[in-house]
Amino acid sequence: MADTIAVMNRGRIEQLGTPAELYEQPRTAFVAGFLGKSNLLDGTVSSDGVVRLPDGSELRARTNGNHGPVSIGVRPEKIRLGDAGVNRLSGTVKESAYIGVATEVVVATPVGELTVFHQNVETGGGAPAPGSQVTLSWASEATFVVDRGEETE
């Protein structure tokens, strides 16, 4: 196992870093998608640490000096059902699939679909059924920002 990894795209290095840095703080949409599932939403940096989404809602994130149009991302396992986190979006459960350790829940929000890995810590899973109204929340530290419009595959 390496302690430093280079993620390459079409012959050029997209990002160089530790496995944790690449996964938790991808610098490009390609890296975010390459190392697992990511939820990416379009937005605009409105001030340092704040991204405004098309519906007017604002999410907190490390904007790392980015300005203007961006994509804001969060990994499915970082999102919780409920309103405990600083970043919140409401939506309707579109589908869910039991995958053992978690239930994969797809939620339609006004700004796009988000996938959540709801941990199955209780018998029966406890994930909301399709059609349920839910609030999704997560920490600002779990949110990353990349340039908008990059290819993810």
Q: What is the mean pLDDT of the chain?
A: 92
Q: How far apart are CA 90 and CA 26, in angstroms?
A: 25
Q: How confident is the model at residue 125 (pLDDT cuts 50, 70, 90)?
A: low
For 133, the token pair is 């109204």
If DSSP codes are grouped into helix, strand and coil, which group holds residue 72? strand
pLDDT tens column, 37-92:
999 999 999 999 999 999 999 999 999 888 999 999 999 999 999 998 999 999 99
If pLDDT is split at 50, 70 and 90, which confidence band does 124 have?
low
One-letter identity of residue 77: E
Compute the distance between CA of residue 127 and CA of residue 143 in angstroms, rounded to an integer.
23
The pTM (predicted TM-score) of the whole model is 0.88
Query: What count of other Cβ atoms lies within 10 Å of the Cβ of residue 131?
Result: 8
- Going by the DSSP 8-state scheme, the letter that residue 36 receives in this structure is S
Domains, the chain, in order of start with CATH, read 5-147 (2.40.50.140)
Question: 105 has which bridge partners?
Answer: 96, 116
